[in-house]
Structure 1
Amino acid sequence: MSVRYKIPQSVLVVIHTRALDVLLIERADAPGFWQSVTGSKDWIDEPLDVTAAREVLEETGIDASATTNRLLDWGIENIYEIYPGWRGRYEPGVVRNTEHLFGLQLPSMLPVVLNPREHVDFCWLPWREAADRCFSPSNAEAILQLSSR
């Protein structure tokens, strides 16, 4: 049986309403770590918008392709060092990940259905409070950009 390593290209999707309420989800494998939707490509040629929509559906049950929702590629990439505790998910020697930022604007705070293997809780917060709660600096910075978008 071969090991399937994660691809070090991921998406970060800031889900928000027009009023800038932001959805955060709490990681199952790291209690107290709140974040936006994140996830890696499933295959190397998977288009980033497909990755983003798939991860949103898998992690929240929200259909990013619904006509009332707006999934936008922000055209921003962050390259960061992978936390040591999570490096075992990647090929040996891989220590950096490239994260592509997306926003998903919803018409209102929609119901959320979490994948319990990945997340244990969710909350909707005003954008500044959401940024303060994020454990990831790049996630917090992405949320802070909402006010200028």
Structure 2
Amino acid sequence: MEQQRPFKIPESVLVVIHTPALDVLLLHRADGGNHWQSVTGSKDHLDEAWEATAVREVREETGIDTSGCGVVLTDWCLENIYDIWPQWRHRYAPGVVFNRERVFGLCVPAGTAVVLSPREHVAFEWLPWREAADRCFSASNAEACLLLPRFV
């Protein structure tokens, strides 16, 4: 008998990875469509700290070590509440329709190596922050890219 996955927790992080020159790393989702985004991911358990979630998701999706030399993770102390898209609601407990997202920035040296998780992303690109905002499929992700200069 197939074991079902536990429901996703409707609390996630958005991590805008960028260089000191404000080039932003965008990832192309592997699940179809032309969806470009920053690192995102849900908590593994309710009491997982926001920062721990951000560190884990960055490592899983990009291979970047947040404790590396010249790497600075910053909690922007911003949160977004948004509707979970209907096609993804089956991942959550019945009746869950909203997600709470905490925003972080991660400054990395130019030329930082990126190793994608192929089950999640098929390509990546470094773009100037305004171009990155235009490319993002998520409104909250685009807004975070536009806020980047205020947080560096």
Residue 108 (structure 1) shift: 1.4
2:81 corresponding residue in structure 1: 79
What's the secondary structure of 1:56's corresponding residue?
helix
2:50 to 32, 48, 64: 48
Q: Does 1:107 align with 2:109?
A: yes
What's the secondary structure of 1:19's corresponding residue?
coil
TM-score normalized by the length of structure 2: 0.95
Counterparts of 1:17 and 1:115 in 2: how far apart (Å)? 21
What root-mean-square deviation, in Å, do the aligned CA atoms of Structure 1 and Structure 2 show?
0.9
| 1:11-43 deviations in Å (ceiling 9; x for gaps) | 000000010000000110133100000000001
> Contact 1:82–1:97 (CA<8 Å) still a contact in 2?
yes
Counterparts of 2:4 and 2:58 in 1: how far apart (Å)? 28
Q: Which AA in structure 2 matches 1:42?
A: D
Counterparts of 1:14 and 1:65 in 2: how far apart (Å)? 16
| 1:95-142 deviations in Å (ceiling 9; x for gaps) | 000000000001213111100000000000000000000000000000
What's the secondary structure of 1:130's corresponding residue?
helix
Q: Which stretches in structure 1 are left out of the alignment for 5+ residues?
A: none
Q: Which stretches in structure 2 are left out of the alignment for 5+ residues?
A: none
Q: Which AA in structure 1 matches 2:40?
A: T
Q: Does 1:125 align with 2:127?
A: yes
Mapping for residues 17-28 of structure 1, pairs under 5 Å: 17-28=19-30
Give the % identical residues: 64
* Count of residue pairs the alignment pairs up: 149
1:10 to 9, 12, 18: 12
